[in-house]
Amino acid sequence: MLQHWSRAIAHIWGLEGSLTQLDGEYDLNFSVATPTEQFVLKVMRPGCEQAFVDMQCLSLEHLHQQSLSAQVPVPQVITTLEGQNFTVYHDPRGKPRIVWLVSKFEGLNYAHFQPKSGVLIHQLGSYMGHMSAQLESFNHAYLKRDFKWNLMQSGWIEAELGCIENLERKEIITTIVEQFKALETDLNNLPQQCIHNDVNDYNILVQGSLNQAPYISGIIDLGDMCLAPRVCDLAIAGAYIVLDQTQPEQALAQLVAGVHSSAPLTAMEVALVWPLLRMRLAVSVVNSTLMALDNPDDPYITISQGPAWAFLQNHRMSGGLIEARLRFACGLPLNTAAKPTLAWLSEHSGAFFPLLGADIDLNQAPMVNLSVEGSSIPQDPFSIQPHEAQQLINPNLQLALGYYLEPRLVYTDKAFKNGSWPSSNRRTVHLGLDIFAPAGTALHAPLAATVEAIDNRQANLDYGGVVILRHRSPRGDEFYSLYGHLNPSSVTQLKVGQELSAGDVFAHLGEPSHNGGWDPHVHVQLALSIEGMGYDWPGAVDPDDMNLWQSVCPNPSLLLNLDHDVTQYSPPSKDHAQQVRQDHFGQNLKLSYAEPLMFLRGWRHYLFDEWGRPYLDAYNNVPHVGHAHPRVAQVAAEQLVRINTNSRYLHPSRSAFAEQVLSHMPSELSVCYFVNSGSEANELALRLARAHTGAKQIITPQHGYFGNTTGTVDISAYKFASPKARAGGLSQPDWVHLVDVADDYRGQYRRDDKAAGELYAQQVAQHIATLKANGEQLAGFIAETFPSVGGQIVPPPDYLQHVYKHVRSAGGLCIADEVQTGLGRLGDFYFGFEQQQVVPDVVVLGKPIGNGHPIGVVVTRPAIAASFAHGPEFFSTFGGSNLSCVVGTEVLRIVEDEQLMNNAQDMGKLLFAGLRKLQREHACIGDVRGFGLFVGVDLISDPDSRKPATQIADYVKNRMCEERILMGSEGPDDNVLKIRPPLTIGAEDVNHLLHMLDKVMHEVKVLTA
């Protein structure tokens, strides 16, 4: 058959090309590749009307005649040698078929493309806007045919509802049909024009790569064109865009905003998008249900309706709120009353009756800061304690105000969460204004009102007593005010519909026992419309939706005669922080991630940005026992108010810390030095080696990192051998000798070589031999036990045994940097050297031992300490301060008390099992290695050569960050994903990480295909 159609192409268009058959529902489609170009050959079904093809060809021509700046990527019709758009050719069975040829776009179906970002959806919308504007002037007789997919004619499904057996589903479709019927007059009043009518996810092509943002490369298949209001086109595309989106409303808003950017929509059209979208889904599912009845053996038909049913059943969003969102996305006012109402409120602000009575001037009340940055309430941002909720402000304050639009971590109830993972998005931004005053304080109506609703919401952290008042501006526009945390019995006398005059007392503030459990206050919220939310107003909203909600519920200061600028919260400026950094910090101080982050709170393995958005921290190993551990904070605070001085005085905290550290060490290592950082500890380790051996020569692995001081940079190949080393005045000192990292995945000796450890160690022996030959003497060997910046490497298990044997026989010391690997992170081992079954001469500890407080520790053998003691006094002003000692001791105790090493072991097992599963599914995961919560995922672009996939690692790390999961990348080629969370991480978090990593890896598959 392919040969037949190849001949047709040569004959009709004079083209030589190879053909591949493509999918097609009714017609035959072939991809045609000539040496220079790509086309699609369309062979229409037997009996196809010429007018149908003519309509498509002319519309494509019409679209190609538009100005370049508004060009929509639609295929170009290739005319035959005789200059026709299409012709007739007989198929192999001798049947006449209409054939035509169009240009082919590169790209993947939107259905299969990942990620489906907001920017991409907006671009699609903008093309659709252009297309509908351009098709307005296109006409063709065939557009007027009867067509079941024309939304204007979709009423046919009503007669077919009997085909849906499931009652819940039937009810959903019945409701959609009823709602659609109610809109028919509005719809019929809209002008009709030619529309594409089928911008579904298989008719949209997308291109993109790891370093090119995805873009719409084509919109194809104009075979469903018809006459209808242009909003139908948008609703149909919307019906596909929302499916399988975690945030369908946001995705739809992007599409609508995109259309509006190129073809401004009217408020009426915006209002029709959602009901029409649902009607299109209803037509789809009814149509496929009927098809399934006709084709009972084709399971694909039922499967294909799955996403549409799932959407209709699971996303019962309020049409009113979606309309508000879509209007907001288009920059349209919330409704016609919104603007005049706000203008009237601001004109009269200052003259409304004072809410707490004429004697209380709220303008004199101080603002209290309950923001992410300004408050440590609650200590645990996942669970506010009753005593915290009941004492949000200083008890000495009689009156105080809480900010409008303030991000707060106090809303810890499940009801405030928008997802199922512990660090899923949550509603943090306060949409009202709080007035803190004693329980019992009377509230007076600020202006005339009708009681709209009264309720007692008894759940913990809810409102307790709550009242909603309805007001009317002189223009007749209605707006509403809500008062929460009231004494429920104070509002029971109120009746819905009751009229209040300005100044009437209508409620009293409640006690914590009946106001939801909060410090007595009233939450005041204003709403310009209750369309879609009824009486269930969100008091706090997701930061990403804050601007939308601000348009529904503006600052109630107007009603309270308060200054808007004083009562509206503004967070610490991220831009300012970045500017100061740029202007006044060294330029080689780097920020993590493409989009810099500002974190204001931490808790366990979570971080919170300036708007309270939670992040899962799978990156930072310094907060070993978790960010902001209360026990660490407490011992530090208590020590600071007592004494914090230096190691020249005796103090029990110092001996306690030494005993704690040594309790985990082999008995041979019994002398401690306390310093302030890993760098300082490694400096000291070098001095110990030199003092004990009288030598200077050091052997160390490639790509090691030991610190930022002159001495440690000298031994850190990661620094002195980096591409920028020369510009930084760095080079390899003549007393430093490098060996390969014992990397048994990518190095010269691999995992299948039983002698790999010995062979890598042989390089140490070779250096020693050369030193001897040159009359030099070895001071020691220093290595991170498991090289971290080297790529989260786990050396062969006998590597250090062989190395230490060589080093010791040459009189050198064996120094183990356990900064990254120590203190239980490995799960199976407290220190990395235990896994290697060696006892070092000097052990260096840092980072995690202070959980964020700067501490370094060096532990050595008494004989080495004795050699060092022959030299001048050793003193580090802050090393071993009382503060550092109590913090270090507490961290080690917490590791024991909370069994964090066991947790590292358990979570490590879960993580490794999940990562290995991902490795089987994603070819770019070359290796998964590590122990416990010291994990490396080595990404490759070619399984045979194991070529490092640096770009993929960069993409994955940044996309994971967008998904609010932090991880890093490491290794000489920066291609190893580094996962090193605080040891508190839980199973749900690990599953969250794996779920997202799988999703991002799928994106990689698409973007690198």
Ligand X SMILES: Cc1ncc(COP(=O)(O)O)c(C=O)c1O
Interaction site with ligand X (CB under 6 A): 677-679, 682, 705-708, 784, 788, 817, 819-820, 846-847
Strands 934-942 and 925-931 turn out to be antiparallel
Give the span between the Cα atoms of 740 and 748, in whole angstroms: 9
Give the span between the Cα atoms of 807 and 322, in whole angstroms: 71
Of 39 and 830, the one with the shorter C-beta distance to ligand X is 830
40: β partners: 31, 102
CB of 662 to ligand X, least distance (A): 21
Longest CA–CA span in the chain (Å) reads 105
Give the span between the Cα atoms of 883 and 676, in whole angstroms: 12
145 SS3 class: coil
Of 275 and 846, the one with the shorter C-beta distance to ligand X is 846
**How many residues are there in the chain?**
1009
Give the span between the Cα atoms of 27 and 40, in whole angstroms: 12
Of 678 and 948, the one with the shorter C-beta distance to ligand X is 678
Rama region for 70: left / alpha / beta (φ>0; ψ in -120 to 50; rest): alpha
Q: Are 552 and 538 in contact (CB under 8 A)?
A: no
CB of 819 to ligand X, least distance (A): 4
Nearest to 470 by CA among 450, 443, 447: 450
Nearest to 2 by CA among 14, 24, 23, 17: 17
As given in the structure block, the two tokens for residue 706 are 């030991």
CB of 734 to ligand X, least distance (A): 23
CB of 716 to ligand X, least distance (A): 8
Give the span between the Cα atoms of 616 and 599, in whole angstroms: 12
CB of 682 to ligand X, least distance (A): 6
Give the span between the Cα atoms of 442 and 486, in whole angstroms: 10
Of 180 and 705, the one with the shorter C-beta distance to ligand X is 705
Of 241 and 715, the one with the shorter C-beta distance to ligand X is 715
Of 514 and 847, the one with the shorter C-beta distance to ligand X is 847
CB of 706 to ligand X, least distance (A): 5
67 SS3 class: coil
CB of 705 to ligand X, least distance (A): 5
Of 738 and 819, the one with the shorter C-beta distance to ligand X is 819
CB of 810 to ligand X, least distance (A): 24
CB of 584 to ligand X, least distance (A): 22
As given in the structure block, the two tokens for residue 832 are 């990395």
Hey, how many other C-beta atoms are within 10 angstroms of the C-beta on 637? 11
443: β partners: 507
CB of 790 to ligand X, least distance (A): 10
* Spacing of C-alpha 46 from chain mean position: 51
CB of 681 to ligand X, least distance (A): 7
Of 110 and 705, the one with the shorter C-beta distance to ligand X is 705
Residues 6+ apart with CB under 8 A from 916: 928
Q: Are 194 and 89 in contact (CB under 8 A)?
A: no
CB of 667 to ligand X, least distance (A): 25
CB of 323 to ligand X, least distance (A): 52
Nearest to 471 by CA among 495, 493, 446, 494: 446
Q: Minimal CB distance to ligand X: which residue?
A: 678
831 SS3 class: coil
Nearest to 857 by CA among 708, 691, 648, 678: 678
Of 115 and 704, the one with the shorter C-beta distance to ligand X is 704
Of 682 and 700, the one with the shorter C-beta distance to ligand X is 682
Of 602 and 832, the one with the shorter C-beta distance to ligand X is 832
Of 50 and 708, the one with the shorter C-beta distance to ligand X is 708
Residues 6+ apart with CB under 8 A from 907: 827, 932, 933, 985, 986, 987, 990
Of 199 and 819, the one with the shorter C-beta distance to ligand X is 819
Q: Are 474 and 344 in contact (CB under 8 A)?
A: yes
Alpha carbons within 13 A on the beta-carbon side of 776: 17
